Amino acid sequence: MVILTRNTAVRHATSQQARAALARVGLVHEGQFSVNKSDEEWQLELNPQEFQVLRQAGTEAPFTGPLNTEHRLGTYCCRACGAPLFSSDTKFDAGCGWPSFYQTLAGDSVVLRSDHKLPGRPRIEVLCANCGSHLGHVFDDAPQTPTGDRFCMNSVALKFVPAESL
Ligand code: FE
């Protein structure tokens, strides 16, 4: 198992060399995650859209998710397993239509792996490190932030927990 952190991978992921390295080491394998459930089990817990995004790597339409305009203080957790993933402190308006963060809550909150599903457009997929659910992608196109990274997340993949309820 290899968990890549923002500092070791994403910061340098634009170079061909780094992308190739990511492809080698960022592979996700069966049994890697603490939470392992069958599709049937996940379908009992998630609604159809959540299942499609989280478990089948789907993407919600931009500007449709409620968390895109969430501005309260709090923590963004994995919708599937509840693991805390992002703080509202690192959320920013990227204008892309999806909730965006410039870093994860902890270095090992997520697992990254190369995604070549779009021809000619290699991307870095972001998975929950606890349950392996698909969350979105990370891009290094946010120079206005302290890290330069944009964790572009699906709203339905996250559950917001307001600070006052923690
Ligand atoms: Fe999870």
Q: Rg of the chain's alpha carbons, rounded to an integer?
A: 15
Q: Alpha carbon of 85 to those of 18, 21, 23: distances in Å? A: 24, 24, 23
Go through the domains of the chain in sequence order and give each one's CATH number: 10-165 (2.170.150.20)
Report the half-sphere exposure of 50 (CA within 13 A, side-chain side): 15
d(CA 6, CA 127): 13
Q: For 86-105, write each residue's pLDDT tens digit.
A: 999 999 999 999 999 999 99
**How far from each other are the two terminal CA atoms of the chain, in whole angstroms?**
31
**CB-count burial class (<10 Å; 0-12, 13-18, 19+) for 47:** exposed
pTM of the model: 0.83
What residues are annotated to the active site?
A: 152
Report CA(71)–ligand 1 centroid distance (Å).
Answer: 22
Q: How confident is the model at residue 166 (pLDDT cuts 50, 70, 90)?
A: low
pLDDT one-digit tens code per residue, 1-35:
234 444 445 444 444 444 444 444 455 565 679 99
User: 143 alpha carbon to ligand 1 midpoint, in Å?
Assistant: 28
- Find the helix or strand (DSSP H, E) in which 156 lies: none
Q: How far is the CA of 34 from the centre of ligand 1 (A)?
A: 9
Q: What's the pLDDT score for residue 6?
A: 43
Task: State the pLDDT at residue 108.
Answer: 85
